[in-house]
Amino acid sequence: MRTETPPTVRLADYRPSDHLIDRVELDVRLDPRDTRVTATLALRPNPAGRPDAPVVLDGDDLTLLGLALDGEVLAPEAYRADAASLTLPSCPQRPFTLRIETRLDPTANTKLMGLYRSSGVYCTQCEADGFRRITYFLDRPDVLSVYTTRIEADRETAPVLLGNGNPVEAGDIPGTGRHYTVWHDPLPKPAYLFALVGGRLDRVAKRFTTIEGRDIEIAIYVEPGKAERAAYALDAVERSMIWDEQTFGRAYDLDVFNVVAVSDFNMGAMENKGLNIFNDKYVLASPETATDADYAAIEAIIAHEYFHNWSGNRVTCRDWFQLCLKEGLTVFRDQEFSSDMRSRAVHRIGEVRTLRARQFPEDAGPLAHPVRPKHYAEINNFYTATVYEKGAEIVRMLRTLIGETAFRAGMDRYFADNDGRAATVEDFLRAFEAVTGRDLSRFAEWYERPGTPRVAVSGRYDAATRTYRLDFRQARPGAGADAPPLVIPVSLGLVGADGPLDQAVSDRVKDGVFVLEAAEDSLTFTNVAAEPVPSLFRGFSAPVRVEASLDDAARLTLLRHDSDSFNRWEAAQRVATGLITAQVRGDMMEMTGADRFVAALDTFLDAEALRDPAFAAQVLALPSEGDIADEIGQEIDPDAIFAARRALRRRLGAGLCDRLLTLREALAEPAGTLFSPDAASAGRRALRNAALDLIAVADPATGAELAQAQAAAAPNMTDRLAALSTLALLPGEARETGLAAFAERYADEPLVLDKWFAIQATIPEDGTVERIRRLQRHPAFAMTNPNRVRSLVGSFSLANPTQFNRLDGAGYDLVAETVLALDGTNPQVAARLMTAFGSWRRLEGRRRSLAETALRRIAATPGLSRDVTDIGTRSLA
């Protein structure tokens, strides 16, 4: 068993850099195996740093070829250099320049950090600490520099050469077959925002005039032949720019905005200044190859990276502990954008589904951490649902607490006060304190401790006084006994048998919001004509678990009558969760309860299905197996959850069958309809496919027939894939034929084959592990491509609970072996995959010990990366 743990970086140890770098001139001569980088750095002592401190530059896997100070080549005894750092023990106490020449091998760079090649295209990824793999540098976000980059490459293989900022010069180098471009980025930035690209790429572009009158060009670069598939992303960039101008008064600040899609990428995308680099999965879309969900994700991620131009780039982070400052805020901004582009209520449901699926389990397991962590061993393991999604919820709560107008004023203030600076969470909150005059120090507690708070609520109606009293109690598991209560905005209202009771009032409720600040508190509504049902945490106003003692009848009243769509959906989810968990606990599926639920859904569909199909599809989609597991919380038996959930789905499918068949007819698109990815069209498809899914679980023969017909004739990928997914859940010949036809049709489309891998990896049957092992040898699969690994093994570990948690341990073994096989080449992706074991302690005993064995086997392997070691250490702690 490995005992050493990686060194820990602590927030409490932060101190300013001893040196600053004002200007960087980079000369990068690209070559597949022997790239040369010359960096000329204008350094000076930092007045805020320690006097006479040595210069210690970060490096990672670098070979130093030359070093000069103010033009003089340095003698070997004047510095110490190795792969990981470059130290000048004594250096001038005045501004000076260092010229550093390094050599790198982009082809051998399988970590996909720093400068690497993706299908022949040179590209970079520098966040969080990849720039030090290009040259020795003060690779920390509070060192901001103005960059000029000259990029040189073979003209034939790299006709396109892109850098940060604006293009200033380009030309040929006669007689060499090489050419170059020079880019200048006038705005100081940290090294993690550096990027360059070189390769053969096609381009789509459009001109745009910003609200400030700047004439700019937006361009997207993609693999040759794929230009039409970038049209939707290009449009999304323009809509993002307009939205940020209208909503936050933020305009773009350079002459060009470039987006490049590459096929090998560790994450979703990266907001490098003026040169966003994307996983091509989040750029390329056509009706034939992309689903509605893909279109929505492209829109959201394009917006996310663009919005970083202000929340992240113009105002950056002082240190990596402040990561939520840019990520939580930017997720909030992209969520708001998508809500404005689509249906706000439906989008909110999706946000909460994601939060509950990813963040709640993370916060309840050994990898839990505060939204602003206090220490880390490997920062790349902190790009988490907690930092991103819970971070966004904190910003949303802030807006709920202070109101929209003050929120906008505070954002303006934040950008104005911190433009060009590396800021902290305190700087963010200070801006809102300044415009509201409020003290937000207690609110700041949300950043400090892990764990999902619980809020218990009970209500009592007094007919004599026509009053309704609500008692609240908050608690924080895992936060420690000393944790002060949180400031929790509770959006709420009362609902009666015929609709919202708007005449009921409470002096503790302002604009529909009650602020719970104490461990316990209560409020009383007056003027309440009859016993009401409380609608609590409307719109999911705080990231908490709510324990309200409402019976199903009360919840079904909310489903029917609440004015808040989110809570209507939530009511149906709660009823379904109750029915499923009761059965998991061994009670038989409570017949009358299930029947009442079916009847309520029938009424609901009758009234709403055609009015708002997207919303209706959300109501029909039951809580996932993961949601149920998270609700049960301990001694989890995934097989029992699967069986109980399927039983309820059968009841729904059987009870609603005729209505669902009719709905499918009513929602069918007339032949020849042109595909549109807009939210309304997508919503009709979603409901139609949700109906198919329920029909198939109740009546497999009919389901198979419908799914086969749809798979064969679907005019778009959304319907084709939905049909194939339904088919995949029905064992037999039709499934294998359908899968084979799909594979043949898309043999040359790696992103589509990813969907094919994922569908097979999530079949909840014995045999899936073996099927995945076969698919790992499929010619389209490659361990070097993160998208392939995520599709085949990632989706298995995250979305196939019965098979991942197989009782013979074969599921754990498969994932553990993949983690180990990947760690030598791409530790970041290996570590991410390993987080699938994060909930192991909550499993029932037999699985718990099998999962622990798999984890210990990984952890005991010699020579592990820091990334995987860190996840192993924390998971087993």
Residue 318 to residue 575: CA distance in whole angstroms: 45
The H or E element spanning position 499 is: strand 499-500
For 520, residues 6+ apart whose C-beta sits below 8 A from its C-beta are 471, 472, 473, 474
Per-residue mark of binding to ligand ARG, 828-857 (x: CB under 6 A)? x-----------------------------
DSSP 311: B
Q: Supply the minimum distance, in Å, between the C-beta of residue 446 and ligand ARG.
A: 20
Phi and psi, residue 122, nearest 5°: -75, 130
Contact residue for ligand ARG among 35, 266, 718, 800 (CB under 6 A):
266
Residue 555 to residue 551: CA distance in whole angstroms: 6
Instruction: Provide the strand spans (E) within 390-478.
Output: 422-423, 454-462, 467-475
- Cβ closer to ligand ARG: 257 or 812? 257
- Cβ closer to Zn ion: 179 or 189? 189
For 342, residues 6+ apart whose C-beta sits below 8 A from its C-beta are 296, 679
Q: Write out the binding residues for ligand ARG, residues 698-757 only, by CB under 6 A.
A: none
Q: Supply the minimum distance, in Å, between the C-beta of residue 333 and ligand ARG.
A: 12
Residue 811 to residue 854: CA distance in whole angstroms: 10
Residue 267's binding partner out of Zn ion, ligand ARG, none, with CB under 5 to 8 Å set by partner kind: ligand ARG
Tokens representing residue 14 in the block: 């932060």
Neighbours of 587 (CB within 10 A): 12
Which of the residues 25, 127, 305, 631 is marked catalytic?
305
- Cβ closer to ligand ARG: 271 or 612? 271
- If binding is defined by CB under 6 A, does position 380 make contact with ligand ARG? yes
Tokens representing residue 845 in the block: 């005993």
Per-residue mark of binding to ligand ARG, 812-831 (x: CB under 6 A)? ----------------x---
- Cβ closer to Zn ion: 330 or 418? 330
The H or E element spanning position 660 is: helix 638-667
- If binding is defined by CB under 6 A, does position 267 make contact with ligand ARG? yes
351 is catalytic: no
Q: Which stretch binds Zn ion (CB under 5 A): 153-161, 327-335, 477-485, 856-864?
A: 327-335
Q: Which stretch binds ligand ARG (CB under 6 A): 29-37, 262-270, 475-483, 632-640?
A: 262-270
Residue 383's binding partner out of ligand ARG, Zn ion, none, with CB under 5 to 8 Å set by partner kind: ligand ARG
Per-residue mark of binding to ligand ARG, 219-258 (x: CB under 6 A)? ----------------------------------------
Find out whether 273 and 313 touch, Cβ atoms under 8 Å. yes
- If binding is defined by CB under 6 A, does position 867 make contact with ligand ARG? no
Residue 266's binding partner out of Zn ion, ligand ARG, none, with CB under 5 to 8 Å set by partner kind: ligand ARG
Q: Which stretch binds ligand ARG (CB under 6 A): 181-189, 267-275, 464-472, 765-773?
A: 267-275
Q: Supply the minimum distance, in Å, between the C-beta of residue 312 and ligand ARG.
A: 7
- If binding is defined by CB under 6 A, does position 552 make contact with ligand ARG? no
Find out whether 571 and 562 touch, Cβ atoms under 8 Å. yes
Q: Supply the minimum distance, in Å, between the C-beta of residue 347 and Zn ion.
A: 18
- If binding is defined by CB under 6 A, does position 127 make contact with ligand ARG? yes
- If binding is defined by CB under 6 A, does position 271 make contact with ligand ARG? yes
Residue 195 to residue 25: CA distance in whole angstroms: 13
Q: Supply the minimum distance, in Å, between the C-beta of residue 712 and ligand ARG.
A: 39
Q: Which stretch binds Zn ion (CB under 5 A): 199-207, 330-338, 362-370, 743-751?
A: 330-338
Residue 127's binding partner out of ligand ARG, Zn ion, none, with CB under 5 to 8 Å set by partner kind: ligand ARG
Q: If we measure between CA atoms, which residue out of 579, 727, 729, 568 comes closest to residue 655? A: 579
- If binding is defined by CB under 6 A, does position 468 make contact with ligand ARG? no
- If binding is defined by CB under 6 A, does position 275 make contact with ligand ARG? no
- Cβ closer to ligand ARG: 274 or 700? 274
Residue 719 to residue 724: CA distance in whole angstroms: 9
- Cβ closer to ligand ARG: 383 or 525? 383
Q: Supply the minimum distance, in Å, between the C-beta of residue 125 and ligand ARG.
A: 6
- If binding is defined by CB under 6 A, does position 378 make contact with ligand ARG? no
Q: Supply the minimum distance, in Å, between the C-beta of residue 757 and Zn ion.
A: 26
- If binding is defined by CB under 6 A, does position 667 make contact with ligand ARG? no
Find out whether 237 and 204 touch, Cβ atoms under 8 Å. no
Contact residue for ligand ARG among 43, 69, 91, 128 (CB under 6 A):
128
Find out whether 232 and 298 touch, Cβ atoms under 8 Å. yes
- Cβ closer to ligand ARG: 126 or 698? 126
Q: If we measure between CA atoms, which residue out of 164, 218, 156 comes closest to residue 195? A: 164
Residue 814 Cα distances to 365, 637, 782, 797, angstroms: 22, 20, 16, 9
- Cβ closer to ligand ARG: 195 or 644? 195
Exposure string over 248-269, b if 16+ CB within 10 A, otherwise e: bebbbbbebbbbbbbbbbbbeb
- Cβ closer to ligand ARG: 394 or 571? 394
Phi and psi, residue 384, nearest 5°: -115, 170
CA angle 55/35/154 to nearest 5° reads 140
- If binding is defined by CB under 6 A, does position 868 make contact with ligand ARG? no
Query: What single letter denotes the amino acid at residue 733?
Result: E
- If binding is defined by CB under 6 A, does position 803 make contact with ligand ARG? no
Residue 862 to residue 433: CA distance in whole angstroms: 51
- If binding is defined by CB under 6 A, does position 139 make contact with ligand ARG? no
In the numeric block, the tokens 């359908």 are attached to 738
Please give the size of the binding site for ligand ARG, defined by CB under 6 A: 15
Q: Write out the binding residues for ligand ARG, residues 292-331 only, by CB under 6 A.
A: 304-305, 308, 327
Q: Supply the minimum distance, in Å, between the C-beta of residue 112 and ligand ARG.
A: 8
Q: Supply the minimum distance, in Å, between the C-beta of residue 189 and Zn ion.
A: 15
Rounded to the nearest 10°, the torsion over CA 523, 524, 530, 535 is: -20
Q: Supply the minimum distance, in Å, between the C-beta of residue 113 and ligand ARG.
A: 6
Residue 871's binding partner out of Zn ion, ligand ARG, none, with CB under 5 to 8 Å set by partner kind: none
- If binding is defined by CB under 6 A, does position 386 make contact with ligand ARG? no
- If binding is defined by CB under 6 A, does position 383 make contact with ligand ARG? yes
- Cβ closer to ligand ARG: 304 or 720? 304
For 609, residues 6+ apart whose C-beta sits below 8 A from its C-beta are 616, 663, 687
Neighbours of 214 (CB within 10 A): 13
The dihedral region occupied by 206, where left means phi > 0, alpha psi between -120 and 50, and beta the remainder, is beta
Q: Supply the minimum distance, in Å, between the C-beta of residue 814 and ligand ARG.
A: 25
Specify the long-range contacts of residues 438-446, CB closer than 8 Å, at least 24 apart: 438/402, 440/398, 442/484, 442/487, 442/517, 443/397, 443/398, 443/401, 443/487, 445/483, 445/484, 445/486, 445/487, 446/371, 446/394, 446/397, 446/486, 446/487
- Cβ closer to ligand ARG: 102 or 381? 381
Residue 473 to residue 521: CA distance in whole angstroms: 7
Neighbours of 353 (CB within 10 A): 18
Distance of CA 429 to the CA centre of its chain: 24
Q: Which stretch binds ligand ARG (CB under 6 A): 101-109, 160-168, 265-273, 390-398?
A: 265-273
Find out whether 24 and 48 touch, Cβ atoms under 8 Å. no
Q: Supply the minimum distance, in Å, between the C-beta of residue 327 and ligand ARG.
A: 6
The H or E element spanning position 689 is: helix 679-698
526: β partners: 505
Strand order in the sheet with 520-525: 520-525, 467-475, 454-462, 545-548
- The catalytic site residues sit at 305
Q: Can you give the binding site for ligand ARG, defined by CB under 6 A?
A: 125, 127-128, 266-267, 269-271, 304-305, 308, 327, 380, 383, 828
Q: Can you give the binding site for Zn ion, defined by CB under 5 A?
A: 327, 330
